Chain A
Amino acid sequence: MRRTASLVLLAFAVFFAALAPLLRWYAFPHLARIPANQYQDMVLEARDATLLDYGTMRAKKVSKVTIVQTLKGDVEAAEKIEKTAGRPVVVWDSLSYVQGPDGKMVSKVPERYIFDAHSQDPVHATGEMVDGDPVTREGIEFKWPFLTQRRDYEYFDAQTRTTGPIHYEGTRTFRGLTVYYFEQTVPWTKVPMPKTMPVQGITPESVARTGTTRWYSTVRKFWVEPVTGAPVYGEEIHKEELRGGSLLGDRAKVTAFAGHVKMREDYIEHTVALVKHNRTLVLALTSYVPRTSLALGLLLLALALCLEARARRPQSPEPSGTADPAPVTT
């Protein structure tokens, strides 16, 4: 009976001990993935910003500029690309819609970002673009990989259409979460005019004919929750200028936009709550369940060995009664 019990315990011990590495190194990469149908919006604001008045072609101070950023997963496109890519793919269509204090559109820049659903590596396929221009991204954009490391990453900048390092600057605490702080500085770079201009009749081509060019510089800051790789907060010190050409008259340059862009408070709270929830799910796969499973496996193995040892111990003969000591004779 003891030997059967020890064999059953041994089977369970191996089951739980094997489950630990299988969950961590096989199930985790297969299960921890960005959903292909994700839909997410984000509102960022730049208070006391500087904005170009296209009527007078002069920069003016405005109370607030709002940026609405939407990400929407295209499931059908992802499934189509997956067939040739041979790995799980997410296709995000995004729109950065910038609105002035009067509610009028300042700019809108669409993007299509295609990437591996688990590793976050870019996947190159037809349709990958920024504002209608085909691009070949390197590095990450919007989100870091699961289990983010304390190191620099390559980050794609949509304005310049180039990739540059985003530096790990230390570990911080943000609203109760341990986060990694990353920062990227994009130096003044000549960038294309947006395809959609804020004034009707003005097109990128008509501006180009005047010889005026658009320049951009930014300091990008992200507070990233390392388990999920999700930024819980972001800021950008963003500057844009128009330089040269007949459009500016005798001026060498004019500020098109300058502002310190920050996430809106209600979106920060929403993002932190969402990331805390997702963090628990990822930790369950990478830490909680594998560790518990391994401990249980070792415990059951010890129990199985103990039972087996007791089963193998030779049985002592039954006592036949108390033997009276023999009388001592002299």
Chain B
Amino acid sequence: MRALIAAATGLTLALALVLGISALGSPSGRTSPKPLLTTVPSHP
């Protein structure tokens, strides 16, 4: 029974970690103020 509780704890922690990180995701940020180019840039 104690082994089952230990395994369930490990599984719950893994689920919580992955769901938490995935929910946070990456910030979408803001639209770049830079224009669509109509001149040839000298470098990337």
Contact = CB atoms under 8 A, between A and B. Distances in A.
Contact of A10 (B3, B32, B40): B3
Contact of A266 (B2, B9, B25, B44): B44
Contacts, number: 111
A287 interface: no
B10 A72 contact: no
Contacts of B3: 7, 10
A63 B36 CA distance: 25
A36 B10 CA distance: 35
Interface in B1-44: 2-3, 6-11, 13-15, 17-19, 21-22, 25-26, 28-32, 34-41, 43-44
A41 B13 contact: no
Given A11-B9, A18-B11, A72-B31, A95 B44 contact: no
Contacts of B18: 19, 22-23, 26-27
B32 A72 contact: yes
Q: Is the interface of A mostly helix, strand, loop or mixed?
A: helix
Given A13-B10, A16-B10, A33-B25, 14 more contacts: A7-B6, A15-B13, A23-B18, A26-B18, A31-B25, A31-B26, A35-B29, A37-B28, A37-B31, A41-B41, A68-B38, A76-B31, A79-B28, A267-B44
Interface in A70-123: 70, 72-76, 78-79, 93-95, 97, 99, 105, 108, 110
B32 to A, nearest CB: 4
A107 to B, nearest CB: 11
B36 A15 contact: no
A27 B41 contact: no
Contacts of B13: 11, 15
Contacts of A60: none
B28 A18 contact: no
B21 A31 contact: yes
